[in-house]
Structure 1
Amino acid sequence: MRTFGNLLERASKLFSDVEVVGPEGRTNYRKLFEDVLKLAGWLKGELGLKKGEVVAVADWNTLEFMKLVYAIPIAGGIVYPVNIRLPPEQILYTLEKSDAKTLIFSRDFELLTKKFEGRHISIDEVGRGEKIQDTTEQQDDAVIMFTSGTTGLPKAVKYSHEKFIDGALSIATQLTTQESPAKLTRNDVIFPQIPMYHIVSWGSVFIAPYLGLKLVLGGKFEPGTVVETIKSEGATWINAVPTMIHMLIESSQDFGGIKALVGGSAVTKKLAEKMKERNIEFSMIYGATDMLAASISIYTSYTRSEDMLREITHPVPFADFKIRKFENSDMGEILFRAPWLPMGYYKDEQKTKESYTEDGWFITGDIGIEMPDGGIKILDRFKDAIKSGGEWIPTSILESVISEIEGVELVAVVGKRDEKWDERPVAIIKAYKEIEKSTVTEYLKKAAEEGRIAKWWIPDEIVFVEDMPLTSTGKISKLELKNRLGW
């Protein structure tokens, strides 16, 4: 049975004394499972949780949150890890859209209770009851999650026990059976930085007990605290988006010597070099809320260099890709399928038709190329790619080259309407020291001479900004940038 309860019960027996650490204290898998069953008993008994009822949880990465992730589905409910980085009005929208009857919140999110019309309970007041028997079935719904809402209102997807576990364990399988810089071994200590609201920390709270590894949960992401916790708990493996890695590196000269699974956006060449200086080995992961894990970079006969592993990811077990190619081009829109696909958005028939095909494929909205070893090279989001004079400009490649320039902290390349070419690229840069526009242009001309980019890709405009808007998942919000610049 592929259920949350079955996975944790196995860990409680095979790895009973392995530690699970959170801001609240320490426990082990045996005690954790016992506490989860008592918590499930309280939810079902005292709270009266009914089968299929949604319970929303707003908290940082804590031990109590992890217990609720398991206990709510074991009690027959569906857990909604609230995306606490969304704008307040979007959070309220997701709470309503999810059909949540109850909101469990930590102190930092008490303001949500002012407008939430359902029952709300402080996470400190969550009780314990009699241990219950886990009677869930693997096809029962267990989790509801929302996309980040970068192109409109967030969209909801539901996952059953088996689908969510299959997605999480595809990551574990890829990282334990294949050679990869972020390879997981029996000696690793997992310390996820990805928040619970983002695919339940990319499945980390399932991967760790499945493999019997020590798990550390650090609460709210604070770079300095993370570095100290890595040292004090002996953490060897983290997951993070590139902006998090950047902040960790900048926070401490002592940070390094660990493995990292990185995703959410591309890793620039400059960031890769900084990680190498700190002895941080990393693999890239590609996936999303509406498809879970899709691919992770591994060593193959074709991909041996660090640059290749930074740019190319490989399908996890039982996953499949195909490229819907553009006319006269090797690049095209990426389609994906796997046994864990939700095959639709919750209560959104129109978006479902736009994104999931009848024969089982998810239209990712990303542009890429299939490599000789079956890997996928992601070039851009379809909505971000620039079509100029009938030809495509992949902005991620331009951004990577520009990021190499001394003084560039963050960069985004966006398309601006052009009467002659339809669209032309504009580079928007946040710098940590003064940079001349001519410096950027000359560097790109040199890159074109070296064959790294096409000469006609060079942006017509370069704009410097003091801050760069980020989405709830740590990516640069190009939509917000365009709005700010009046485009």
Structure 2
Amino acid sequence: MEELRPHPANSSPLTPLGFLERAAYAYGNCPSIVYNTTIHTWSDTHRRCLQLASTLSSIGIKRGHVVSVLAPNIPAMYELHFAVPMSGSILNTLNTRLDARTISILLQHGQSKLVFVDHQSTSLVLEALSLFPPNTKLPILILIADDEDSTPTLSPPSFDFMDTYESMVEKGDPNFEWVRPESEWDPMVLNYTSGTTSSPKGVVHCHRGLYIVTLSSLIDWGIPNRPVFLWTLPMFHANGWSFTWGMAAVGGTNVCLRKIDVSTIYALIKQHTVTHMCGAPVVLNMLSNSLNSETLNKPVKILTSGAPPPAPVLLRTESLGFVVSHSYGLTEAAGFVVSCAWKPEWDMLPATERAKLKARQGVRTVGLAEMDVVDSESGVTVKHDGSSRGEIVFRGGSIMLGYLKDPVGTSKCMRENGWFYTGDIGVIHPDGYVEIKDRSKDVIISGGENVSSAEVESVLYLNTAVNEVAVVARPDKFWGETPCAFVSLKNDLTQRPTEKEIIEFARARLPHYMSPKSVIFRDELPKTSTGKIQKFLLREIANAMD
């Protein structure tokens, strides 16, 4: 068989963009996008993306150029996930909650040629461009004027905006031959990790990696053809965990949602018979802990990731009819690559035990080649005992090409031994399931003992008065560090617990060295746009405390 070699017939570059073309044939008259009163079919979406890609090419956007977008989960945001790379350029989705200074830094770092801007973010982007160095060539601005929103908008073309989104779609050629990748290793997206300013971490993914993670995610979650997917997960966050392209692969209906609101979410679930949705644990907490929470008429599958979800939150969410799956991933892996694959025998366990099992991260998805938990220095695998800690490492096709313009940062996590080092601390249970114990920076070392902030948080969530909690290290002259809990309480309490009562609650359930030594009550905990609690801000507060 030695004479058999790769041939053009079997070596076409893998890319998730082809899913859209297939959807137009297989699901042409089926709904692709629903947003308020707007409904598109897959034939519509395919045509509109080709037309937009055509217009981008006609104004000089070429292979390798970066095109940015600052928009919430509206139809244009979805279409741009196909149209931009179909022009040969690289898609860069920006976090809508960033400030002007950070957006300016990221646009300059990525050297964006063009920026699509939602009408509610125009002043933000214009301020960001004003911070560019003098005599710098600014990117072209295209306004996304949302006809479905009642908020007043600009009326471009204007001095600052070259054109509108819909105008660019209308001008394009529906028969445009989209620019296929020359190699499946060609860059397709540029995603910035959260919290990057002075040293931006621009994660670059190729067509091949996104193809692999998209199909892997569909298989792992068991998504059937023609699901109804509610976009509660920001599309700018790791491209919606690659379900942007995944919904085209299975002909799903994308129910778009501009803003997260509990009552609106429940209304859309009923109106469109939603079958699937995603969100960080904070979304689960909102859905299950709100005055507007409802018991569902039909089960809705919800995938959560971003932080270890507390077992009490999982239990409350599932009691309403949501079927929760827990996954783990990161921007550098293009989405989720580990999931809590459910075993039938676990269905016989009490609800509290099922919730604890589901809070674990689990096993690698089919698209990831290998996963391990190792000693960060020696690289030796830790014992499969559920208590020996190490750093979680991956290898597989969906791992990033690297950080843009940062070879040192790339080499630190993508090491010569062939592993990608996540920086997350975990254990391996005897059954082979991995569980995150902490982000490496969130481990609290108190008197020489490692304290898992995630474990302490999970216990505090058992307190029925607690709405949200985050535990960080507070400097201590004797112990070095002690756990400090930031707590927001539920709004409908008749009696609010004291700091002493919260500490005593924890001590009754944890070793004393793990229990919080201080509790800070806040109306709301600071969060990123993807729902992650901003622990770095809380650490700054704790560090400044006497």
For normalisation by structure 1, the TM-score amounts to 0.92
1:203-259 Cα offsets, whole Å, 9 max, x none, are 111111112222222223233222221111111111011212222331524353311
Question: Paired residue for 2:309?
Answer: 267
Contact 1:343 1:360 in 2 (8 A): no
Question: Paired residue for 1:451?
Answer: none
SS in structure 1 opposite 2:327?
strand
Correspondence 1:393-472 to 2 at 5 A: 393-432=451-490, 433=493, 434-448=496-510, 454-472=511-529
Question: Paired residue for 1:323?
Answer: 373
Question: Paired residue for 2:379?
Answer: none
1:429-473 Cα offsets, whole Å, 9 max, x none, are 11234112232233223213xxxxx33211222222233111232
Correspondence 1:161-176 to 2 at 5 A: 161-176=207-222
SS in structure 1 opposite 2:508?
helix
Percent identical: 26
Q: CA distance change for structure 1 residues 457 and 331 in 2, over 3 Å: closer, same or farther?
A: same
Question: Paired residue for 1:276?
Answer: 318
1:23-53 Cα offsets, whole Å, 9 max, x none, are 26111112211221111111111x2211111
Question: Paired residue for 1:115?
Answer: 128
Correspondence 1:130-149 to 2 at 5 A: 130=173, 131-137=175-181, 138-149=184-195
SS in structure 2 opposite 1:267?
coil
SS in structure 1 opposite 2:372?
strand
**Mapped partners of 1:373, 1:152: distance in 2:** 42
SS in structure 2 opposite 1:281?
strand
**Mapped partners of 1:66, 1:133: distance in 2:** 20
Contact 2:227 2:251 in 1 (8 A): no
Select the residue among 235, 245, 248 that pairs with 1:196.
235
**Mapped partners of 2:67, 2:448: distance in 1:** 48
**Mapped partners of 1:65, 1:262: distance in 2:** 22
Select the residue among 12, 24, 27 that pairs with 1:15.
27
Amino acid at match of 1:334: I
Q: CA distance change for structure 1 residues 162 and 29 in 2, over 3 Å: closer, same or farther?
A: same
Q: CA distance change for structure 1 residues 384 and 282 in 2, over 3 Å: closer, same or farther?
A: same
Establish whether residue 384 from structure 1 lines up as the match of residue 442 from structure 2: yes
Amino acid at match of 1:276: E
Question: Paired residue for 2:532?
Answer: 475
**Mapped partners of 2:115, 2:361: distance in 1:** 40
1:319-353 Cα offsets, whole Å, 9 max, x none, are 22111238996111111221121142111122212
**Mapped partners of 2:179, 2:535: distance in 1:** 46
1:334-390 Cα offsets, whole Å, 9 max, x none, are 112211211421111222122221233221111101123332101111100111222
**Mapped partners of 1:343, 1:281: distance in 2:** 34
Alpha-carbon offset, residue 74 of structure 1: 0.8
- Which is further off, 379-388 or 208-217? 208-217
Alpha-carbon offset, residue 318 of structure 1: 3.5
Question: Paired residue for 2:149?
Answer: none
Select the residue among 279, 282, 294 that pairs with 2:337.
294
Question: Paired residue for 2:430?
Answer: 372
Alpha-carbon offset, residue 198 of structure 1: 0.2
**Mapped partners of 1:206, 1:251: distance in 2:** 34
**Which of these two proteins has the greater Rg computed from alpha carbons?**
2
SS in structure 2 opposite 1:364?
strand
Q: CA distance change for structure 1 residues 205 and 362 in 2, over 3 Å: closer, same or farther?
A: same
Establish whether residue 245 from structure 1 lines up as the match of residue 284 from structure 2: yes
Correspondence 1:166-245 to 2 at 5 A: 166-176=212-222, 184-186=223-225, 188-245=227-284
Structure 1: 5+ residue stretches without partners: 177-183, 449-453
Contact 1:313 1:376 in 2 (8 A): yes
1:42-67 Cα offsets, whole Å, 9 max, x none, are 1111x221111111111111112211
Question: Paired residue for 1:104?
Answer: 116
Contact 1:150 1:471 in 2 (8 A): no
Question: Paired residue for 1:333?
Answer: 391
Question: Paired residue for 1:43?
Answer: 56
Q: CA distance change for structure 1 residues 66 and 339 in 2, over 3 Å: closer, same or farther?
A: same
**Mapped partners of 1:360, 1:212: distance in 2:** 36
Q: How many corresponding residue pairs?
A: 474
Q: CA distance change for structure 1 residues 484 and 446 in 2, over 3 Å: closer, same or farther?
A: closer
Contact 1:322 1:335 in 2 (8 A): yes
1:153-179 Cα offsets, whole Å, 9 max, x none, are 441011111211211221111112xxx
Contact 2:32 2:251 in 1 (8 A): no
Amino acid at match of 2:178: D
**Mapped partners of 2:300, 2:367: distance in 1:** 29
Correspondence 1:308-319 to 2 at 5 A: 308-319=357-368
Contact 1:22 1:218 in 2 (8 A): no
1:277-327 Cα offsets, whole Å, 9 max, x none, are 211110111111112222111113786533201223221114221112389
Contact 2:311 2:355 in 1 (8 A): no
**Mapped partners of 2:506, 2:112: distance in 1:** 51
Select the residue among 254, 271, 282 that pairs with 2:294.
254
Structure 2: 5+ residue stretches without partners: 1-12, 130-137, 146-163, 348-353, 377-381
- Which is further off, 98-107 or 296-305? 296-305
**Mapped partners of 1:67, 1:349: distance in 2:** 32
Contact 1:295 1:315 in 2 (8 A): yes
**Mapped partners of 1:423, 1:151: distance in 2:** 27
SS in structure 1 opposite 2:219?
helix
Amino acid at match of 2:341: I
**Mapped partners of 1:303, 1:87: distance in 2:** 45
1:399-432 Cα offsets, whole Å, 9 max, x none, are 0101111211111111122233222212221123
SS in structure 1 opposite 2:362?
strand
**Mapped partners of 1:302, 1:380: distance in 2:** 28
Contact 2:229 2:274 in 1 (8 A): yes
**Mapped partners of 1:186, 1:50: distance in 2:** 34
- Which is further off, 320-329 or 238-247? 320-329
Question: Paired residue for 1:56?
Answer: 68
Establish whether residue 31 from structure 1 lines up as the match of residue 44 from structure 2: yes
